[in-house]
Structure 1
Amino acid sequence: MPILRNRIVSVCLLLLLATGTQADFAVDLDSGDLLEVYEFGGENDGPLFLWLVNQYGELVTPNALIETLASRGATVWRTDLLDSLLLQRSSEAIRSLDGGPVAALLDAAVDSGRGPIVLVTCDRMAVPLLRGLHEWRKQGGDAAGVAGGILFFPNLYRGTPVAGEQPELLGIVDATNMPLAILQPALGANRDRLTEVLDALHDAGSPAYGWLVDQVRDYYLLYSEEPVNRALESSAGIMPPEVRSAIADTPNQLLMATQLLARTPRPDAVLALDEAAEQPIAPAYGLIERQPRPAPDYDLVDARGTRHALDESLGRVTLVNFWATWCPPCVHEIPSMNRLAGAYDEDEFAIVSINFREEPEHILEFMREVDVDFPVLMDENGAVSRDWGVFAFPSSFLLDRDGRIRYSVNTAIEWDTDEVREVIDRLRSEDQYTRLPHLPVAQGPAATIEAR
């Protein structure tokens, strides 16, 4: 693909008006669009990173990482697919992107003579990255010309399933056999699914590697002083030491991963892509009625040191809610849950809140600021969340008096509505429960927690 290093004046003026800065060059796309590229370290002769801007747009921390890579001898081409293609910054827009733009960028990178060439991105933007690698190979790109891709906390799923159901990987995962490196936060929501993703890539022939980034959560690379939107509220403010340390080490990780990928053999075959598996699943909203099944047991200590088990809820309708303080929708629904709990006697209805991978001390501090009128159980190792099939936060389950899952919801809702109370009252009015067998218990850490 030709590289336009001198844009015509009218295009430059439009770009200056739109962004305040001028792209260094642009890549022609078959659609007639231009993929605008900003170059850093153009005078360097080190590796070439093709940096795909995430779905939230340009942020301070990723840009600082790019500058650091350039200062250490690398060249970085930064491009924003959504901005160049005038698409909405949404998950749906990202999942709809085909591999054409990234394939064209790879052609331009190979033509530049630089290398090794590595694609880099995070979260949902990993999907068009993999599609671009596949499309480039399908069009005849020589696998030896590109080292592979580096993915930070990638979201490679078809969408959010009904709460309690397992998510499905997009078809592009099974069609990817180029070398990849995945850096997954050790405290991230999909930490326990890293093995599943690597297994799928290995089955496809990809020599994929995985690393855990200690002590940080998803979106740590997107940290900023002020939240750019609601989704990144928890990644804003004074940067915690563990996040600062992880970010400081990221250039080393990128450079070392690039060396590893460049030495990794590449398969010759181009795999077929299952187009049906590339289609996103339809979102499910609100309370979804489920085929009754026994809920997995739990045996966990709450933030104040009291142990709780599922058997305590038998004989009354129970709402089991999985959440985290870093999840703004989770926090938003707490007041309506408080009101719902207050509308019933304790022997009729109960709420059990299970916190995902946070520390009791942090929860106690949170509860000093936010009223929580029900116990918060600590799933510090994520085992109970995994047993319940939790994929998105918040995820909630309504249990009948037998301890069976009857309804679930995979998003935040207003809980004290007439519609929700009607469902609860219907479950309360069912015949007296009979004790049923439960799935094996997921044992949590036993400890007595004191408020600091």
Structure 2
Amino acid sequence: MLKFWGVLWLIWMGFAAAFASADEIQLTQFKVENPKALVLWLPSERGVLPQEKALAQALEQQQISVWMPDLFESYFLPIAPSSLLKVPVADVTELIAQFQKQQPSLPHYLITSNRGATLALKALAAKPKSQNLGLIFLNPNLYISTPEPGKLAEYWPEVSRVNYPIYIRQAELAPSRWHLQALQEQLNMRGSDVFIQLLPKLRDRYYFRADANAYEQDRAQFLAADLMQSMRLLNPYLAEKRFNSAVGQAEIATEIKVPDRKIGLQVYQGLANKPLALPSFEGNMVSLTDLHGKVVLLNFWASWCPPCVHEMPSMANLKTQLNQKPFEILAVNLAEERAVIKQFKQQHPLNFPVLMDLQGQAVQDWQVFAYPSSYLIDKQGKIRYALFGSYDWQNPQALNIINELIHE
């Protein structure tokens, strides 16, 4: 009986999502009588956050009216990245149109973060003409999916189909900051004016992270004021008449299959030989070519990345276990200061070299889009296996593969 009602509930959820419309979207409004501007705040894959409601209230106090739709609740969808792909794009397009009809003489802004930027651009790409609308993206994630190591990221096609003034606020401590030029080039293809502000010493999602440090908590207190500054900088560009690509809703709605994330070490399919020569923390130059004859585990990491820190002990244990064999681990750090790494090494004793990628060149050469990312390189210097994400390097799969490479 319980199974029957569970199936019935899932069927009802499907019908509810199918028949909901833009007029039925649940909407929280923070309204003022004589606003200076209007904001539509679209949720990210994490839903409507209490921290973002607090930001809306702070903007309200500065005479800015805010619309905050709850798309997950409106369509009976669980809060998850995959759910954003199930929100009807046509409804969001209509919601934006209704929003822009409110006090049309005032500046209008759309704010969202992370994967919410994808939904925003999908909805906006269906609007052939637009005016008086600026976009503010917080750490936007506009990739179809995180690419497998060695492959280039694919952007959603709508990224290159829109023409808007866009302000991107990008945390410095995130792999995506090294790929901002590529994103800007995609957004510029239809003429969008794109402005990027890099936020030093901050991690992605800093204003609502459960593990936010003291500096991130302090900067979060200024985010409402920072958003207002972004609006002021975009304001001169709002009057321009803009034209998006002539794309209809049918084409926008065309489903692109998002590949499932592969778990564990995978056979590497990118460029097999890549250069790497970086100074170690101690100041010695380390090159992959000098390590021919050894199997190498190359790991890209940062101290601010919890999954990176989580896998470090298993890497250290792996090095100890294979200490008498032709095997080495190289841990490439993402442009952190020496003092930060020194403190990390004191707290987490490591028995393998830490390499300093101060300019992020190796991150770009190796097309690293997620942290941690790891590569297994054979004794001839050829990349054979790779993965992104934290991994237990003492599990049987890893040990078997490494030993096979050692005995080749």
TM-score normalised according to structure 1 size = 0.78
The match for 1:143 is 130
In structure 2, what is the Cα distance between the partners aligned to 1:52 and 1:239?
26
- Which amino acid letter does the alignment assign opposite residue 31 of structure 1? A
- Which amino acid letter does the alignment assign opposite residue 402 of structure 1? Q
Match of 1:102 among 92, 102, 120: 92
The match for 1:390 is 368
In structure 2, what is the Cα distance between the partners aligned to 1:291 and 1:130?
31
In structure 1, what is the Cα distance between the partners aligned to 2:176 and 2:268?
24
Matched ranges for 1:186-205 at <5 A: 186-203=172-189, 205=190
Match of 1:130 among 121, 124, 140: 121
The match for 2:8 is none
- Which amino acid letter does the alignment assign opposite residue 342 of structure 1? T
Displacement of 1:174 in angstroms is: 2.9
Match of 2:235 among 254, 259, 264: 259
In structure 1, what is the Cα distance between the partners aligned to 2:321 and 2:214?
39
In structure 1, what is the Cα distance between the partners aligned to 2:244 and 2:312?
53
**Cα pair distance change 1:275/1:252, threshold 3 Å:** closer
The match for 2:5 is none
In structure 2, what is the Cα distance between the partners aligned to 1:50 and 1:409?
38
In structure 1, what is the Cα distance between the partners aligned to 2:220 and 2:99?
31
The match for 2:395 is 417
CA deviation vs aligned residue, 1:153-210 (integer Å, no higher than 9, x gap): 111111011112111011221332344332323443212322222222222x142312
Displacement of 1:252 in angstroms is: 3.3
**Cα pair distance change 1:48/1:258, threshold 3 Å:** farther
Displacement of 1:73 in angstroms is: 2.0
Q: Which runs of 5+ in 2 are unaligned?
A: 1-16
Matched ranges for 1:438-449 at <5 A: none
Equivalent residues of 1:321, 1:396 under 8 A apart: yes
Displacement of 1:333 in angstroms is: 1.4
Equivalent residues of 1:59, 1:222 under 8 A apart: no
In structure 2, what is the Cα distance between the partners aligned to 1:183 and 1:264?
22
Match of 1:238 among 199, 214, 221: 214
The match for 2:161 is 175
Displacement of 1:399 in angstroms is: 0.3
Match of 1:68 among 58, 62, 78: 58
The match for 2:26 is 36
- Which amino acid letter does the alignment assign opposite residue 121 of structure 2? L
Moved more, 343-352 or 400-409: 343-352
In structure 1, what is the Cα distance between the partners aligned to 2:206 and 2:314?
32
Equivalent residues of 1:55, 1:90 under 8 A apart: yes
Displacement of 1:72 in angstroms is: 2.1
In structure 2, what is the Cα distance between the partners aligned to 1:416 and 1:360?
29
Displacement of 1:268 in angstroms is: 6.3
The match for 1:448 is none
The match for 1:271 is 247
Where 1:389 maps in the other structure, the secondary structure is coil
Q: Which runs of 5+ in 1 are unaligned?
A: 1-27, 228-232, 431-452
**Cα pair distance change 1:268/1:423, threshold 3 Å:** closer
Displacement of 1:274 in angstroms is: 6.5
Displacement of 1:263 in angstroms is: 2.7
The match for 2:4 is none
Where 2:308 maps in the other structure, the secondary structure is helix
**Cα pair distance change 1:268/1:422, threshold 3 Å:** closer
Equivalent residues of 2:165, 2:192 under 8 A apart: yes
- Which amino acid letter does the alignment assign opposite residue 386 of structure 2? S
| Percent identity of paired positions between Structure 1 and Structure 2 | 28
- Which amino acid letter does the alignment assign opposite residue 81 of structure 1? L
In structure 1, what is the Cα distance between the partners aligned to 2:72 and 2:362?
37
Equivalent residues of 1:216, 1:246 under 8 A apart: no
Displacement of 1:379 in angstroms is: 1.4
Displacement of 1:241 in angstroms is: 8.4
In structure 1, what is the Cα distance between the partners aligned to 2:340 and 2:324?
27
The match for 1:433 is none
**Cα pair distance change 1:268/1:351, threshold 3 Å:** closer
In structure 1, what is the Cα distance between the partners aligned to 2:193 and 2:273?
35
In structure 2, what is the Cα distance between the partners aligned to 1:67 and 1:157?
31
Q: What is the aligned residue count?
A: 388
CA deviation vs aligned residue, 1:254-300 (integer Å, no higher than 9, x gap): 32144134133311653354766833233222111125855322232
**Cα pair distance change 1:268/1:288, threshold 3 Å:** closer
**RMSD (Å) for aligned C-alpha atoms:** 2.8
